Every structure is written in structure tokens, then in C-alpha cells.
Amino acid sequence: MTVPMLVGMVAMILVNLIDTYWVSQLGTDALAAMTFAFPVEAVVINVALGLMIGTSVAVARAIGSGHEEDAQRLTTDATLLAGGVVLLISGLGLLFQDTLFRWMGAEGPLLENVKRYMTPWFVGVAFLIVPMIANGALRAIGDARTPMRVMLGAAGLNALLDPVLIFGLGPVPSLGLQGAAIATVIARFVTMVVVFIVLLRHTSLLGLSGFSIRRMWASWLTVARVAVPASVTNAIGPFAVGLLTVMVAAHGADALAAWGIGARVDALLMLVPGALAGAVSPFVGQNAGARLRARVAEGLRTSLIFAAAWGVVATVLLLVSAPWVAAIFSDDESVREALATYLRIVPLGYAGIGLVSICSSAFNAVDRATLSTWLSVLRSLVFAVPLAWLGDQWLGMPGLLGGVVVASLLAAGLGVIWLRGLLYPYGTQPAGAGRALSEAQVVAWLEGTPGWRHLGGSASAILEHDNLSAYRTAGGRLGLYVGAIELLHLEPGGMLDLPLPVEVGENLVRFGSLTRHPDHDQNGWYRHAAEGESDTTLWLVGLSHLMYALSQRGADDPITQSELEAYTYTPQCVTAMRAASARWEERIAS
């Protein structure tokens, strides 16, 4: 999902670049007027992104938990919510744009230019916000390619319409700055139409069946629990950057120029971790909704490792190439030196920025969006601004930049600590068990324990199961665990004890493979006497791990599929195991 999201993000950047290029051909006044629109656009886009994230997470959780009717209701109600937000923003924007832009410093001809651009922009706000909600719903069901194609098409259409509407062509009159806004509105309108055609024809995510005001309000609250904190989180960063920019400006125009260029280099290099973070939300949302905690944990660990590795590689490349990169962007020696300093210091925090993005997306996906907001507040305002100020006082501009780096790394460490419950949902090892045994130690225990010597050559077959570890436990037992979850244990006397769902355990009792545990027969524990044979013992180890895999990884996971083939023999057996795993998950969670 990351690659299509990355392409979509690049398409959004291209739209802004295309608009800026063509407007720049109208002169400095037109470009200045368009610049006044950027802060307003940023606020509206942050609101839209919050709604998109809230919708995507809510729909993904509904899909993952198997409630497709809830997914349809959430998508429909979120679209209606977006419509209400659009009416509010459009109405207020059109009514108060004079007051707003005068307050921002636009007067006379400049104000008139700003209004020429913003009037159609405010009218077309619906075509920005509503398609983003629809795209979020599509990503929630795992379709990242349709939003990518739509965004690419919008960028291409915008590029074609800009020169036609700005400068005129044939019967189309020259509309100047207003033409740039109209081109964007038309491209977004087409985007909205296409996305809704896809939703109506190829999904069941839109529909008014069972509509009620009470249900709609409940849906709005569900979306808002993530959308509001996400919007605030998105807005905090630009605010902190504004405060940091004031500090940088005190060092002169050269430092300010380097700061602006460096920020754009950062944005370019962090596109990939940003796209990965965008893919994490629906992935975690779906799997959390399906209660597949192992898949959530594996996906998050993989994403964190990748984001950190990307940051390290990008840092090393910039440390080596900083002077050459600086020379690309400026001919001024002072600016080049300042930019080279920036590129040797700020990238040291890239890994932290990537980790914070992954953590924030994960928190949003499991309905803990306030943690995401707190993480952003801590990184941007509590850590970055004070540390940058202290660094500035002690070491000047390098110290200021170093403060920003330290803030990112501190926030990343805190975010990963807060994320531990998702990374290791059942702990890392059983309490008081010490270190996991190596394969050699397992072989030594088996060969040195009466009743299990025949299993000495099978240690590797036991330990090859995903995430399985062996520990010495009370009474001299050998316990097999996934994290802190006990799958089974081997008694020194040659008995294997394991918990199983009753429907599975009782069938194996009926077939003579197991007996009810004499001490825990009411708690789902069963016993097998090895008696010098290894095949049934190894099969029971695999079967026990399969129960874990079914409940925590899901029946469609490749690891689970391979174990289903290895440890079940009939379609009826597979069906029974899948049914049992749902209740088994509740036992593991408790």
C-alpha cells in the first residue's frame, strides 16, 4: 500500500508546483496573492486530512471485524459530515475573506488579487474535502491504487487546464490568477465524480439503507475521535515551524534561505516514510478490528525498522554529499555554507521523524488518537522549541538545528515506548523464566530427561515454528512459548501438557491422542504420554502453534496456511479449527 500512496503524495506536490509555475508567469503580484492563500489552504487541507484519517481508520476496523454494514454506514455518514464541514468552510470563507486577508496584511490591488483566486477556491472546497473522505474509505478496504490513479489524473488535468484558463486559448478567455483556481476546482470536481463512481459501482461502501439521525451522530462521533486529534496534530507542526523560523531569522537572510531550502529537502526525503505511515493506519485498523494482534505487531515492527533504516541511509548520504547538494540550490557562498551545515545536522533526526510518523499512525488506527496528538505536541512544542532556543544560546545556528534533532529522537523514543503494547501484545517472555534456551540447550534437556531422549534429534523441528521460544520452567519442565503465551510444556516424566479449545481437545480424546488433564480437566488442559514415539508429539507442537497462528495471524496469513496444510487432514478439520480459534483468541487475550 505504501508505493501507491507515495505516488499519490507526489501527485499532490505536482499540483502545487504546476499551479505555482504558471501563476509565476503572471508576475510577482499574482504570485504574492497566491502565497497569501497557502496558510488558509493548509488549514483546510489539515481538516480534510483529519476527516480522511478518521474515516479510513473507522472503516478499516469495521471491515476487519467483519461488520461490512457498519463500514457502509460509516462511509456514508462521514461523507455527509464532510458535506456539512464544506458548507461551513465555504460559507465562512466567502463571507469573511475580506476581513481575513486584510488581517493577514493584504490591501488594495493585492487584496483584490487574493479574492480573485480564493473566491472560486472557497466555492470548490467540496471537491477537495469530499473526495479525500472517499479515498480514505477505499484505502480502508486495501485499495490504494484507485486513489493513486485518481490523484495522478487530477494532477494531469490540472496541468492541462492551467495554461488554457490562465492565458486563454481559442474561445476560452484569459482569466489570469482566477483561472488557476478554476483549473484546480475543475480537476478536483472530476476527481470527486470518478471516486464516487468507483465507490458506487465496485464497492458496497455507500448506501442509505437503515439511515437514522441517531446512527449518523454515532458515526460522526466515531470518526471525530480520530479526525479531531489528527487535524490538531497536523496543525501543530506548522505552528512550531513558524516559531523556529522566527529564531532562524535572527541569524540573517543566509540562514533563513538555507532553512527554507533544507525544509524542502527534508520533505522530499521523508516522502517514503510518510507514505509508509499512511499505509500503516488502514493495515493496523483492519487487523486490530479482526483482533489479529500478531499481524499488527509484525507489521509495526517491520515498519519501524524500515523507517529507522531509511532515516539512517538518508543521513549518511547527506553527510557525504551536503556541499554538492547545497551547490545545486544556490550560487551564493554564504547560503551554500549555511545549507551544508543544515544538511549535516538536521538529517540526524530523520530516523526519529519516521518513527514518530509510524507511531502516530498506529495510535490513530487503534482509537488512541490523543496519544498521537500528545506525541506531536511534545516533539514540536515541548521538545523542539525550547531545545532549539537553548542550542541557539549556546552554539548559535548549529545548536538550534541540533535542538530540533534531539527533539525528534526524544519523541521517537517516547512513541516506541508507548507503542510497546502493540509491538508485544502478550509480552516478550514468560515472567521469571530467564533467558530463552538455545537449540543446543533444548537438545541437552531432551537427551538428559527421562521420557524425552527419543526427541533429542527433533529440537530444530520444534523451534522452527514462528516466534516460538523454549524456557526452563517450574518443576524442571521445558515450556514452549510465543512471547508470554504458553503453548505447551514437557514434563520430565514424559508427559506433554497443553491447553486446547474444548471442541478440538475432546475430539483428540475421542481419537485416543490425548487424555483430559487430571488436575485441570475443567480448564481446557489435556495430556499426552510420549512413550518413546516422536511423531504425535511433534504433531501436537505444530497443532498448538497452529491454534496461536489462526487466532493471532488469521487464516489467510501465509504462515497459517502452511501450518493448516501440515497439521490438518480434512476440510471438516480446517473448518472446526477456524471456528475454535475465535474463542481461543479470547483465552489468549485474558
Q: Average pLDDT for residues 159-187, to the nearest whole number?
A: 87
Which grid cell sits at 274? Answer: 510518510
Domain 439-589 has CATH 3.90.1150: yes
Lowest mean pLDDT segment, chosen from 131-135, 173-177, 491-495: 131-135
Of 135-139, 382-386, 545-549, which gets the smallest average pLDDT?
135-139
Residue 445: pLDDT over 80:
yes
pLDDT digit string, tens, across residues 384-423? 999 999 999 999 999 999 999 999 999 999 999 999 989 9
Confidence of residue 455 (pLDDT cuts 50, 70, 90): confident
Q: Are 185 and 127 in contact (CB under 8 A)?
A: yes
What are the residues facing 525 on neighbouring strands?
499
Q: At CA 80, angle to CA 235 and CA 138, rounded to 5?
A: 75
Percentage of residues in the chain having pLDDT higher than 90: 24
**Nine cell digits for residue 491:** 514434563
Question: What average pLDDT score do residues 117-145 get?
Answer: 82
Q: What's the CA gap between 489 and 588, in Å, rounded?
A: 16
pLDDT at 583: 66
* pLDDT of 523 higher than 80: no
Across residues 534-554, what is the average pLDDT? Answer: 86
Rounded Cα distance between 73 and 209, Å, is 8
Residue 437 has a pLDDT of 93
Say what the pLDDT of residue 104 is: 67
pLDDT at 308: 96
Give phi and psi for 20, each to the nearest 5.
Answer: -65, -40
Please state, rounded to an integer, the average pLDDT across all residues of the chain.
85
DSSP state of 570: S
**In terms of Cα–Cα distance, which of 533, 542, 463 is closest to 498?**
542
Q: What share of the chain is helix, strand, coil (3-state, %, to 5)?
A: 75, 5, 20
Surface-to-core class of residue 10, CB atoms within 10 Å of its CB (0-12 exposed, 13-18 middle, 19+ buried): middle
Cα separation, 420 vs 297, in Å, equals 9
Evaluate if residue 68 carries a pLDDT over 80.
no
Confidence of residue 569 (pLDDT cuts 50, 70, 90): confident
Residue 27: per-residue pLDDT: 77
DSSP alpha helix (H) spans, 168-270: 177-202, 213-249, 253-269
Beta sheet of 515-516, edge-to-edge order: 468-473, 477-482, 485-490, 495-499, 525-529, 515-516
pLDDT tens, residue by residue, 296-317 = 999 999 999 999 999 999 999 9
* Chain centroid to CA 50: 13
pLDDT recorded at residue 528: 92
Q: Outline which parts of the chain fall under CATH 3.90.1150.
A: 439-589
Reported as type and span, the H/E element at residue 577 is helix 571-589
Band of the pLDDT at 588, cuts 50, 70, 90?
A: low
d(CA 6, CA 425) in angstroms, rounded, equals: 30
Asked whether the predicted pLDDT for residue 138 surpasses 70, the reply is yes
Mean pLDDT of 181-206: 84
Report if pTM > 0.95.
no
- Rounded Cα distance between 532 and 69, Å, is 54
Q: Where are the beta strands (DSSP E) in 340-454?
A: none
The Cα diameter of the chain in Å comes to 96
Maximum average pLDDT range among 87-96, 189-198, 235-244, 536-545? 536-545
Among 84-88, 210-214, 301-305, 558-562, the minimum mean pLDDT is found in 210-214
Q: Which residue do the cell numbers 471525530 mark?
A: 224
What ranges in 25-67 are assigned the alpha helix state H? Answer: 28-64
- pLDDT reported for residue 419: 93
Instruction: Establish how many alpha carbons lie within 13 A of residue 376's alpha carbon, considering only the half-sphere containing its beta carbon.
Output: 24
Q: Do 94 and 129 touch, CB atoms closer than 8 A?
A: no
What pLDDT is attached to residue 417? 95
pLDDT confidence of residue 585? 61
- Does residue 439 have a pLDDT over 70? yes
SS3 470: strand
Share of the chain above pLDDT 70, in %: 96
Question: Quick one: pLDDT at residue 88?
Answer: 86
Given a contact cutoff of 8 angstroms between Cβ atoms, the answer to whether 498 and 541 are in contact is: no
Q: What tens digit of pLDDT does each residue of 478-520 get?
A: 999 988 888 999 998 889 999 888 888 888 888 888 999 888 7
Q: Could you identify the residue written with the cell 501563476?
A: 23
The string of pLDDT tens digits covering residues 257-304 is 888 788 878 888 899 999 999 889 889 988 888 788 888 999 999 999
